Chain A
Amino acid sequence: MLEINQLHKSYAIGDSSLHVLKGIDLSVANGEMVAIMGSSGSGKSTLLNIIGMLDEADSGDYVLDSVPIKNLTEKKAAIYRNKFLGFIFQSFNLINYKNALENVALPLYYQGLKRKERQEKARFHLQKVGLLDWQTHLPSELSGGQKQRVAIARALASNPKLLLADEPTGALDTTTSSDIMAFLQQLNDEGKTILIVTHEEDIAAMCKRIIRLRDGVIMEDKKVTQVRAESHV
């Protein structure tokens, strides 16, 4: 599903450059649920950005679903992001003047689907996250957990191969975090491949595999027994 070889990335900071990723080798199979852990500055977010095609590596190979991701034009990157990836952000990143349904339908708009088809699919995914009754509400009228669930519905809408979550529970309380994780586990059970960047041990423990990064290298990569999250919904 995902194959990374000798990935390097550095950022120029003034005159000097900061080597953030120092040769990452990573392989993720279909249906995995992987936590990427590390303290801030370990390079975990940079790795996620590169996997998410939001940033480009300096050197190394990255193959996603047998498609080499290299020298992408912005247009191509946009198409791949839309087709392969679903993003879940810590701060939800919903568009504040669009209601829940419109937010979920947005990636479908960029896929070029017809309005009716978009709304139908968006409704299906909203129902999946249990928020169909809230479809006409603006993000400002939703709770944090609801917002994140709308964001998950949006990430799922284009039926991506890979879900990328950057601290998905970072802005949520423990109960809501647990709900969101339960939902992500359920998605994984259904076969979705999920990558979660987190610095919380208990969130990582709810995944099936934990990768620990430190100073741009993988320190540890082990399979774990998944702790099932308790759903309160």
Chain B
Amino acid sequence: MFDIDLWREIFQSINKNRTRSLLSGFTVTFAILLFTILFGLANGLNNTFSETFVDEASNAIFIRTGKTSKAHKGLQAGRQIQLKNQDFVYIKQDFDTETEYIASKVFKNITASYKNNKNNYSLIAVNPDNQYVEKSKVYSGRYVNQLDIDNQTKVIVIGKLVEEEMFSRTSALGKNINLSGISYKVVGVFSDDGGDDEERIIYMPLSTAQQIYGNNDYVDQINLTYNPDFDYNQAIDFGLDLEKKLKNRFNIAPNDQRAVRVYNRAMQNKGINQMTSVLGVLILVIGMGTLIAGVVGISNIMIFIVKERTKEIGIRKALGASPKSIVSIILIESILITTLAGYLGLLAGVGILEWATPVLKTYFITDPSVSKSLVISATLTLIGAGTLAGYLPAQKASKIKPIVALRDD
């Protein structure tokens, strides 16, 4: 129910006590301002983290091999461990439910030439799944597919910068390019949020590279992503299990750190996640603390207002004001001051964050904005806070006896 007269009464009362209303609102403005800035900074810090690690899928696990550093089961130290296609198949089959995508990789450095342009790039031979592990975005043409693998086709998918540098900003799609003496057809171009280096890569089918460059089934690295439904602990357990089984498969000592290395993003993520959640809690505590201080301030002033208006409230009651209408006046005044003042703080906070964004960039704080949902929940919190602040004073006011109006001070 919208009662214009009630609002008129309230505005008259606020207007009459402008300084007092301003002062009491200030505490809330300040509380919300602080909260907004803190929250924005924390958000910015979070953004920095997620941007830094945006390169690969956040649930990635990398497997690399090296030389054994310890003798084991009668085998000497210094033995080279080599991943092969069969290992890829083994992981894919034995960890079917645990893995989401899995890709083998072979690394090569090549010189690419097209017409008069010549440049060095890293060539990576992959399975089709690699697109999802690397989070590459193919924006023209297609990625390496299973047909390429089966037929060992001489096709490549090139990074955005390769296209720009080799094809002088014309479309590379369908053109043939010479990679260290062998001609390949460009079937796709991709971009990658990981940065320039990621866009200077040329991908080709794994089988093609294995045949042309080694005539073997060697694999340099296996990348996979674990089941996205895993929580951190499950993911970490999976990584450890994988490492153990691979060591067993290659007859490597369990404490050999060098022969098989399983790098699990979950480990890193867990740390980051813990840090950001602690940061979040800290900010919530500080923000709530300041907000509570503001609420207590308003409540205090409202109690004072009620005391000062005791006679007026008594008169109103003598004239027929119901307790409910008295409660409404005090409560709505409190909510109004809190909400308006809080909103002012919110706006100021968002403004300051916006203004400070370029400066903060140098301090590893990226885009410290405040989300819409936060603004909405902050508004609801403010209305709640105003109600809380006005509750006691309103109760006090409704208990005033109209007799007090009769008494002469």
Residues on A close to B: CB < 8 A? 45, 49, 52, 54-55, 74-75, 78-79, 81-83, 87, 89-91, 93, 95, 97-98, 106-107, 109-111, 115, 154, 158, 166
**Which 9 residue pairs spanning A and B have beta carbons closest together?**
A82-B320, A110-B320, A107-B319, A97-B16, A78-B322, A54-B402, A93-B315, A54-B403, A75-B322
Taking a contact as CB atoms under 8 Å apart, the answer to whether A158 and B320 are in contact is yes
Residues on B close to A: CB < 8 A? 4-5, 12-13, 16, 311-312, 315-325, 398, 401-403, 405-406, 408
Taking a contact as CB atoms under 8 Å apart, the answer to whether A78 and B323 are in contact is yes
**Contact partners of B401 in chain A: CB under 8 A:** 54-55
**Contact partners of A83 in chain B: CB under 8 A:** 320
- Nearest CB of B to A208, in Å: 24
Choose one: A54, A109, A111, A115; the contact of B318 (CB below 8 Å): A54
Complex Cα distance A107/B398, Å?
Answer: 18
What are 15 A-B contacts defined by CB distance under 8 Å?
Answer: A45-B406, A54-B318, A54-B401, A55-B403, A75-B324, A78-B317, A78-B322, A78-B323, A81-B319, A81-B320, A81-B402, A87-B318, A106-B319, A107-B319, A154-B319
Complex Cα distance A110/B317, Å?
Answer: 9
Taking a contact as CB atoms under 8 Å apart, the answer to whether A110 and B319 are in contact is yes
Closest to B6 in A: A109
Taking a contact as CB atoms under 8 Å apart, the answer to whether B318 and A52 are in contact is yes
Closest to A89 in B: B406
Taking a contact as CB atoms under 8 Å apart, the answer to whether A74 and B322 are in contact is yes
**Contact partners of A55 in chain B: CB under 8 A:** 401, 403
Taking a contact as CB atoms under 8 Å apart, the answer to whether B319 and A82 are in contact is yes
**Contact partners of A106 in chain B: CB under 8 A:** 316, 319
Complex Cα distance A110/B16, Å?
Answer: 21
Closest to A45 in B: B406
Choose one: A82, A89, A110, A115; the contact of B405 (CB below 8 Å): A89
Taking a contact as CB atoms under 8 Å apart, the answer to whether B315 and A95 are in contact is yes
- Nearest CB of A to B13, in Å: 8
**Contact partners of B13 in chain A: CB under 8 A:** 97
- Nearest CB of A to B9, in Å: 8
Choose one: B12, B315, B317; the contact of A97 (CB below 8 Å): B12
Given contacts A93-B405, A95-B315, whether A110 and B325 have CB atoms under 8 Å apart is: yes
**Contact partners of B408 in chain A: CB under 8 A:** 90-91
**Contact partners of A74 in chain B: CB under 8 A:** 322-323, 398
Complex Cα distance A111/B323, Å?
Answer: 14
Taking a contact as CB atoms under 8 Å apart, the answer to whether A79 and B322 are in contact is yes
- Nearest CB of A to B328, in Å: 12
Complex Cα distance A200/B323, Å?
Answer: 36
**Contact partners of B398 in chain A: CB under 8 A:** 74
Taking a contact as CB atoms under 8 Å apart, the answer to whether A78 and B315 are in contact is no
Taking a contact as CB atoms under 8 Å apart, the answer to whether A78 and B16 are in contact is no
Q: Which of B5, B312, B319, B401 has the most CB of A within 10 A?
A: B319
Complex Cα distance A98/B406, Å?
Answer: 19
- Nearest CB of B to A172, in Å: 14
Closest to A83 in B: B320
Closest to B17 in A: A97
**Contact partners of B324 in chain A: CB under 8 A:** 75
Closest to A84 in B: B320
